[in-house]
Structure 1
Amino acid sequence: MKLAEEMVQFCDDNNTGRGMTAKWRLKHFKVVEQQLKDDEDVLVCFIGLKNFVDIAHHEDNWAYAITNKRIIMGQKGLIGEKVVVVSLRDLNDVSFKKGVVFGVLTIDTIKEVFNVGLDKNGASSIHELVTNALMDLKEEMYQSSQPVQQVKTDDPYEEVKKLKELLDMGIITEEEFNLKKKNILGI
């Protein structure tokens, strides 16, 4: 997806855009559309309450898009626009908690944590769509790094050093790193 209209349609088709009119969803997703690069595609998009604490404490509805490179958050106000962009390399974790009225999707990044309030009826499906998209992207990043990882050297410490670089980039997990390190060092 590249166009705001496509993102609104995705929200309609997947129940990920509740809480506001189609007209306002389009305005918010136009902000996201303007941020997209030529080589970037939106995989999942949704509407949610940014920095949600409770029903009375949040930064109103924002459009969220998970792309093949970043997470883009956009809001069109009556006057002006707001945009937050997070590189997938800066993403630590995504978690989810479902309450009685709202679900909360937490996006934990290197710099800050975003709590997104979601309509309880669509919250679980949004969490599943986001998680699946991010897992697929991580798998693609991991597979694209395989040739680098499989290069053998005579020095096992050089191999561990290369694995550490993959860990630091978020391509492999700590668990994968430790397992491969033990195999390389014969521990």
Structure 2
Amino acid sequence: SVEDESEDDFFAQESPVVETQKFKQRAQKSKKEGDKQGHAPSTTEELELLVAGDDVEETEKDYDIRDLVKLAKSSQLKKLKGKRKRKQEALARDTAGQRFAVDTSDSRFRAVLDGADDRFGIDPTDANFKDTPSMRNILKHQTKKRRAARVSKDVSASDAAGRKGGTGAAALSSLVMSIKSKVSRSKGS
């Protein structure tokens, strides 16, 4: 039976040359079948066109905080000239999210913008705080709300004191009169 196996074609090993030729033939055959089915190999330009289809919409929605912070810092510096100015202009042109603005009138942001809830406190001294135009806008809005609340609180407190002052003034004057009468009685006796 060992002799039968050696003579059997199934157990016979093919030479490496024959194997590589068969592999090449299979590869050529699969290429031809791919061409027949319309699957031509894509070029890099075609792939870039597919990927870059929604580029304009995506850049409008993007928000690059690092570049925005760089842009804000460099705009606060003195006037730039030459290479630095061109670099600044390129950064301004390429930075995504410059038109981003927080709608402070939106009711969904009320807890953040009112500043009444401690969970949403914005601390400019924190290391993670990023000074962006939108963040400055939020801080201004919070300051306005706090001032308005403080003024209304002061006005209501002064109104309450004025109302109490009417009844309080009468009580005070009666107290003064009673003390004066006691003092005059003590002097008289």
Normalised to the residue count of structure 2, the TM-score between the two structures is: 0.28
Structure with more helix by fraction: 2
Structure with more strand by fraction: 1
Normalised to the residue count of structure 1, the TM-score between the two structures is: 0.28
